[in-house]
């Protein structure tokens, strides 16, 4: 049985499902193929959403245990029911993935569950079904990268998916990789009482972020009890019954540490398995990313690729923007993604959020820049919250005053960064931000103060 569509989207993650919805809104007849049982992709099922649910719950637990006394609140007999803790996360996921299914229904998008194979004549085969389309979008996402010497069994040696559903709180845990997943999931278990050691290959954590911010962030995490070994060369992890012995080298010395659980979080790689790309004439690069032109078109005309399976940061919001850009271009509109204005956030406590150039990038590009840091210590709302760490750091062009980058280490930085993304999108100057009225008392006043610091001077320091 062959069915015809204007657009077939392969993959129902934030790139694919968002593209499918916008395409349907623009009048296209759309099918969306998904190999998993539920819609939503990695983000909704085993990524952004469940990890944020666990971060929220663990934050409440840790703050109740450690900080409520400071507020004059006494809690007796605090305990944790891990099953309910995990169950809440599953409910959040169920609600959201179900929400995508409802949106598909509302927009008359045909969900096709099964693994897709693409053919050169722009047909997509899913089991017995054959879908032909004027255009196809590949949005097949990514999977966790392997680490030689570590066999992920998702019990003792886990990847990001396994880390979302541990049956017991590990007494000791090693996290390999000090990036997004390592620090978020490391924080979750550290808050629940695990002794967490992060082994990072580079000489710094969060390598994608501003260096100064990363260093300050590491100090805060260390105060929370997370330990770090940087420039670590991790050799192997051997499971012996209920424990894992991890062999690694730092400063030329080999060490072995035995822990209950090892989380491998050393990045992700594009996933295009079983699609039949080569046979269809769709090229991939040396790292497995689907090759695309500036309009997201692959080497097969009428077939586009977006999200984690193409180059660029593996972030859900970048993926969605790309999906929308392709669909709007197909509908004759001006689809466009501004890669200078893609925020990046680590959802720990405090949060780390960043957009645009880091100071190192500005230096490397030979830009005549100015930078200013405003500490939350001098922000009234932060003090009222009991928060004293972190800062807002802004980088602007020295001559034009145009904002080049913003880097925030502080509570709810994920929400505050939106203003900075907008500023970069609108090519705002630091003075534009400084002259904008920010409500008092809010954390966002630190943004205004940092912008004032780049120009006429701060008020509160
Ligand atoms: P990552 O790229 O953020 O971090 C991986 C870290 O592992 C890096 O610091 C890297 O230097 C280190 N590393 C690499 N090889 C190593 C080795 N052999 N030994 C020790 N350290 C090693 O990757 P991730 O944390 O696995 O996350 C994967 C992707 O998922 C990221 O690209 C990210 O975009 C996405 N993600 C985003 C969020 C978010 O937006 N908050 C959350 C989770 C995941």
Numbers of helices and strands, H then E, in the chain: 14, 22
Domains and CATH numbers, the chain: 2-144+269-337 (3.50.50.60), 157-266 (3.50.50.60), 341-453 (3.30.390.30)
* 253-259 and 351-356 beta bridge pairing: unpaired
- Strand ranges, E, within 1-156: 2-10, 30-34, 110-113, 116-118, 123-126, 129-138, 142-144
First to last CA, the chain: 71
Phi then psi for residue 65, to 5 deg, are: -70, -40
- Is-catalytic flag, 119? no
Residue 221 CB–ligand 1 contact under 6 Å: no
Cα dihedral 6, 8, 9, 12 sign: positive
Is 198's C-beta closer than 6 angstroms to any atom of ligand 1? no
**How remote is the CA of residue 189 from the centroid of ligand 1, in Å?**
17
Residue 259 and residue 244: Cα distance in Å, rounded? 5
Q: Residue of the nearest CA to atom 3 in ligand 1?
A: 179
398 CA to centre of ligand 1 in angstroms: 33
What's the pLDDT score for residue 23?
Answer: 98
266 ligand 1 Cβ < 6 A: yes
Does the C-beta of 159 come closer than 6 Å to ligand 1? no
Question: Cβ(392)–Cβ(406) under 8 Å?
Answer: yes
- Torsion 337-343-347-348 (CA) sign: positive
The three-class DSSP label of residue 350 is coil
Q: Which of 43, 249, 267, 318 to mutate to test the pocket of ligand 1 (most atoms within 8 A of CB)?
A: 267
Rg over CA atoms, the chain: 23
What pTM, to 2 d.p., does this model score? Answer: 0.97
Q: Whose CA is nearest to atom 14 of ligand 1?
A: 266
pLDDT of residue 111: 98
- Listed residue (357, 350, 400, 358) closest to 375, CA to CA: 350
Distance separating alpha carbons of residues 430 and 356, to the nearest angstrom: 14
Which pLDDT tens digits describe the chain residue by residue (461 residues)? Answer: 799 999 999 999 999 999 999 999 999 999 999 999 999 999 999 999 999 999 999 999 999 999 999 999 999 999 999 999 999 999 999 999 999 999 999 999 999 999 999 999 999 999 999 999 999 999 999 999 999 999 999 999 999 999 999 999 999 999 999 999 999 999 999 999 999 999 999 999 999 999 999 999 999 999 999 999 999 999 999 999 999 999 999 999 999 999 999 999 999 999 999 999 999 999 999 999 999 999 999 999 999 999 999 999 999 999 999 999 999 999 999 999 999 999 999 999 999 999 999 999 999 999 999 999 999 999 999 999 999 999 999 999 999 999 999 999 999 999 999 999 999 999 999 999 999 999 999 999 999 999 999 999 999 99
Whether ligand 1 lies within 6 angstroms of the CB of 345 is answered as yes
Question: How far apart (Å, rounded) are the C-alpha atoms in residues 444 and 131?
Answer: 50
Q: Is 99 in the pocket of ligand 1 (CB under 6 A)?
A: no
Asked whether 176 lines ligand 1 (CB < 6 A), one says yes
Structure tokens at 12: 């129902």
Q: What is the pLDDT of residue 1?
A: 73
In this structure, which residue's CA is closest to atom 41 in ligand 1?
346
Q: What is the pLDDT of residue 374?
A: 98
Which of 145, 152, 179, 257 is the pocket-test mutation for ligand 1 (most atoms within 8 Å of CB)? Answer: 179
Other Cβ atoms less than 10 A from the Cβ of 234: the count is 24
Ligand 1 centre to CA of 445 (Å) is 31
Give how far Cα 122 sits from Cα of 7, 146, 277, 303, Å. 10, 32, 12, 8
Question: Is ligand 1 within 6 A of the CB of residue 201?
Answer: yes
Q: Between the CA of residue 13 and those of 39, 49, 50, 227, what are the distances in Å?
A: 7, 12, 14, 34
CA-nearest of 41, 38, 49 to 11 is 41
Nearest residue (CA) to ligand 1, atom 32:
314
Per-residue DSSP letter, 70: G
Angle (CA) 259 260 263, round 5°: 85
CA 112, CA 130: separation in Å to the nearest integer?
11
What distance lies between CA 436 and its chain's CA centroid? 29
Q: Which entry of 71, 336, 440, 460 is annotated as an active-site residue?
A: 440
Pairing mode, strands 233-240 and 243-250:
antiparallel
Predicted confidence at residue 132, as pLDDT, reads 96
Q: How far is the CA of 180 from the centre of ligand 1 (A)?
A: 5
Alpha-helical regions (H) of 107-202:
160-163, 180-191
Ligand 1 touching residue 234 (CB < 6 A): yes
DSSP state of 389: -
Which tokens sit at 229? 């070994």
Mutate-to-test residue for ligand 1 from 41, 55, 160, 180, highest number of ligand atoms within 8 A of CB: 180
In the block, tokens 């079983």 appear at: 274
For the CA atoms of 447, 453, 458, 461, what is the dihedral angle to 10 degrees?
Answer: 90
Q: Is the CB of 177 under 6 A from ligand 1?
A: yes
Q: Which residues contact 17 (CB under 8 A, 6 or more apart)?
A: 9, 32, 39, 40, 41, 100, 103, 104
Three-class SS state of 198: strand
Shortest-distance atom of ligand 1 to CA 145 = 26
């Amino acid at each position: 049985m062959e069915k015809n569509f204007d657009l077939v989207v392969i993959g129902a993650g934030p790139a694919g499902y968002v593209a499918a919805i916008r395409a349907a809104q623009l009048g296209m007849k759309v099918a969306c193929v998904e190999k998993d049982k539920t819609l939503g992709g990695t983000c909704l099922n085993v990524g952004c959403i469940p990890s944020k649910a666990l971060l929220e719950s663990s934050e409440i637990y840790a703050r109740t245990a450690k900080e409520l006394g400071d507020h004059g609140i006494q809690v007796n007999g605090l305990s944790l029911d891990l099953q309910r803790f995990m169950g809440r996360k599953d409910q959040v996921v169920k609600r959201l993935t179900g929400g995508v299914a409802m949106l598909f229904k509302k927009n008359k998008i045909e969900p096709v569950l099964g693994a897709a194979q693409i053919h050169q004549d722009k047909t997509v085969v899913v089991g017995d079904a054959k879908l032909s389309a004027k255009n196809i979008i590949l949005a097949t996402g990514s999977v966790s990268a392997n680490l030689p010497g570590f066999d992920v069994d998702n019990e003792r040696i886990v990847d990001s998916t396994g880390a979302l559903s541990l049956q017991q709180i590990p007494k000791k845990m090693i996290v390999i990789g000090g990036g997004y997943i390592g620090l978020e999931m490391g924080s979750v278990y550290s808050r629940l009482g695990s002794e967490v050691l992060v082994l990072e290959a580079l000489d710094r954590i969060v390598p994608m972020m501003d260096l100064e911010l990363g260093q300050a962030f590491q100090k805060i995490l260390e105060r929370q009890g997370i330990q770090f070994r940087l420039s670590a060369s991790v050799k192997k992890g051997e499971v012996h019954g209920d424990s894992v012995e991890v062999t690694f080298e730092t400063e030329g010395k080999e060490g072995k540490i035995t822990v209950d659980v090892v989380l491998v979080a050393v990045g992700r790689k594009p996933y295009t398995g079983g699609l039949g790309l080569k046979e269809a004439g769709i090229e991939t690069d040396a790292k497995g990313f689907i090759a695309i032109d500036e309009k997201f078109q692959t080497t097969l005309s009428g077939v586009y690729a977006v999200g984690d399976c193409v180059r660029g940061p593996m972030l859900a919001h970048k993926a969605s923007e790309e999906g929308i850009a392709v669909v709007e271009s197909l509908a004759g509109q001006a689809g466009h993604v501004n890669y200078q204005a893609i925020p990046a956030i680590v959802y720990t406590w405090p949060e780390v959020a960043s957009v645009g150039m880091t100071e190192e990038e500005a230096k490397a590009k030979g830009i005549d820049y100015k930078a200013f840091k405003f500490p939350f210590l001098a922000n009234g709302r932060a003090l009222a919250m009991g928060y004293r760490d972190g800062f807002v750091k802004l980088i602007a062009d020295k001559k034009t005053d145009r904002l080049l980058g913003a880097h925030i280490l502080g509570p709810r930085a994920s929400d505050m960064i939106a203003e900075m993304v907008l500023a970069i999108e609108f090519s705002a100057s630091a003075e534009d931000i400084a002259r904008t009225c920010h409500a008092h008392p809010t954390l966002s006043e630190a943004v205004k103060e940092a912008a004032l610091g780049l120009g006429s001077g701060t008020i509160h320091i």
